[in-house]
Amino acid sequence: MAILSDIDIKKALDEKKIIIDPLKDEKQIQPSSVDLRIGNKFKGFKIITKPFIDPFDEVDLESYMEEITISEKQPFIIHPGEFTLATTYETVKLPSDIVARVEGRSSIGRLGITMHVTAGYIDPGFEGKITLEISNIGKMPVALYPGQRVCQIVFETMTSPSVEPYGHHTRDSKYMNQKGPQVSKIKQDFDIKGE
């Protein structure tokens, strides 16, 4: 695999091989990545009386969370120790021979904000907004503004195109075409369902 440079990223965008929509400014294109902005929808855990979250539980995981939509000028405040789901402002579409990784921007990380806790890998064939898993590991609350550049996406070419990319009719592509932050759909995993 090889990481795409700014030249290759621009070429892939021009040829519509990779789609990032809307790409507000060419300044978002970095030497080997593209900065992505945060949207205006956030999901956080409600205070509940259950002792733990169980993937086998029949209760919908969505019921443990609440969604907050804020205006473009209004900040979302993430407090120390808090975890929230958000989404990228941009929709991303990948071809069957390119994978991507979402990484936090160092300017955000230096405030104590982790932008993508564990699942930063984007499969070939994915299309949709990217759900961000955000935590504040610092000691002070931090304001995040819709439209602010908070993370970056890095593209890598594969040795050959995937035969069954994400979204292929034979795959269980739970997060394909997501429009906002999505809670875990772990209950749909074949190993959890017992298939």
pLDDT given for residue 103 in this prediction: 92
Span 80-97, pLDDT tens digits: 999 999 999 999 999 999
Span 173-194, pLDDT tens digits: 656 667 767 666 566 666 655 5
74 is in an annotated binding site: no
pLDDT given for residue 177 in this prediction: 64
Location of structure tokens 């906002």: 180
pLDDT given for residue 194 in this prediction: 56
Residue 187 DSSP class: G
- DSSP assignment string, 16-83: TSSEEE----GGGB-SS-EEEEEEEEEEEEPP-S-SS--TT-SS-GGGGEEEEE--TTSPEEE-TT-E
CA distance 74 to 1: 41
pLDDT given for residue 191 in this prediction: 63
CA distance 176 to 30: 26
Span 107-146, pLDDT tens digits: 999 999 998 777 688 999 999 999 999 999 999 999 999 9
Decide if 82 is catalytic: no
CA distance 176 to 63: 21
**Backbone angles phi and psi of 91, in degrees to 5:** -95, 135
Span 24-78, pLDDT tens digits: 888 999 999 999 999 999 998 877 777 887 777 767 777 778 889 999 889 999 9
Q: Of the residues 133, 156, 164, 195, which is catalytic?
A: 133
- Domains in the chain with CATH codes: 2-49+61-160 (2.70.40.10)
Whether 18 has a pLDDT exceeding 80, the answer reads yes
84 is in an annotated binding site: no
152 is in an annotated binding site: yes
- Which runs of consecutive H residues, i.e. helices, occur in 81-169? 106-109
